[in-house]
Amino acid sequence: MNALSTPFCTITDDAWTRLRDSQGLRFTHQMGIDPSKYADDTLDPRKAEDMAAVLSAYTPLDGKKVLEIGTGCGVNHIVWRKKYGVDGWGVEPEGEGFESSAAIARTLIAANDLDTARIKDAPGERLPFPDASFDIVYSSNVLEHTNDPALVLREAARVLKPGGVMQIVCPNYLSYFDGHYAAIHPPIFSNGFFQWWMKWIYRKDPWFAATIRTEINPLWVRHQIKAIGGLEVLTLGQEKFRERMCTADVGRWMALGVVGKIVGLGQTLGINRLAAAVIIALQGWTPLIITARKSG
């Protein structure tokens, strides 16, 4: 049993090693972190508990039927089922960039005595479930990697029950930091500029930048939600951003250490509250926490 394991999620040494030696090695230069840290942060069950805490501010989890779009390595699915008693389901496409994720998810879900058949091989653009199937639809750090993020939002709304809540966590490309590259940048208005910035400012291979849907920002989200109809926006994450800026609690995962240093300096100088207000006014907070309730 890996040292990351908790009472609600067993992490196997085999899954940890496979992740470190696949995605961990692949993204070492890009993210500027050690492959072992990549594996630790991806598989740490406490991250799933952090996610649940953010979501539970808008809807209780206990006993709810939950769909996760992009289950990744399955840790969130396991923790939420075991700790919060959700009726959990998920989709994770095979062989689309993060090839090892689905295989590792099957291994971990089986190791935790749960049913691997609840994770479907499907993209977020084509959810294999009937209309109004779920109380909660959740996704984290997936929307920017999809082929058609607008369609993913429409599908999430379609399978949501009336009165249900969807929460989609993703980067805001009007912000000033990209976690995929651990890079500070100006607001991104085109993917071509994003690739140029990573290649010439950070001297990193822009192949991954080319795959990111950089149109995602608060203006785009509001337009999509309005086009879908029947959804009440509860938040886009401004409140959580303000809280994290004022407390300097930005998290410990992946490349957030870079942000933590900047926010910590701002707290020392006593400017974080003002900085948060300005950034929010400029639509530059991150991440987006797109949280909406479907009309009854």
Which tens digit of pLDDT belongs to each residue from 150-171?
999 999 999 999 999 999 999 9
Overall number of domains in the chain: 1
Q: How far apart are the first and last CA of the chain?
A: 45
Which domain CATH number covers 80? 3.40.50.150
- What residues have CB less than 8 Å from 239, skipping those under 6 apart? none
Assigned domain for 49 exists? yes
% pLDDT > 90, the chain? 74
User: Is residue 120 predicted with pLDDT exceeding 80?
Assistant: yes
Across all residues in the chain, what is the average pLDDT? 90
Assigned domain for 4 exists? no
**pLDDT score recorded for residue 272:** 79
**pLDDT score recorded for residue 28:** 76
| DSSP-based three-state secondary structure for 185 | coil
Assigned domain for 25 exists? yes
The helix (run of H) or strand (run of E) holding residue 178 is strand 177-178
Contact call for residues 152 and 146 (beta carbons, < 8 A): yes
pLDDT tens per residue, range 54-79: 999 999 999 999 999 999 999 999 99
Using omega within 30 degrees of 0 as the cis cutoff, is the peptide bond preceding 287 cis?
yes
Which two three-digit tokens encode residue 48?
A: 């799933």
Assigned domain for 2 exists? no
Secondary structure string (H, E, C) spanning 123-154: CCCCCCCCCCCEEEEEEECCHHHCCCHHHHHH
Assigned domain for 6 exists? no
Assigned domain for 8 exists? no
Task: Residue 277: give the domain boundaries.
Answer: 13-294
Which two three-digit tokens encode residue 279?
A: 């950034």
Which residue(s) pair with 268 in the sheet?
none
Q: In whole angstroms, what is the distance from residue 249 CA to residue 215 CA?
A: 27
Assigned domain for 5 exists? no
Assigned domain for 1 exists? no
User: Is residue 264 predicted with pLDDT exceeding 80?
Assistant: no
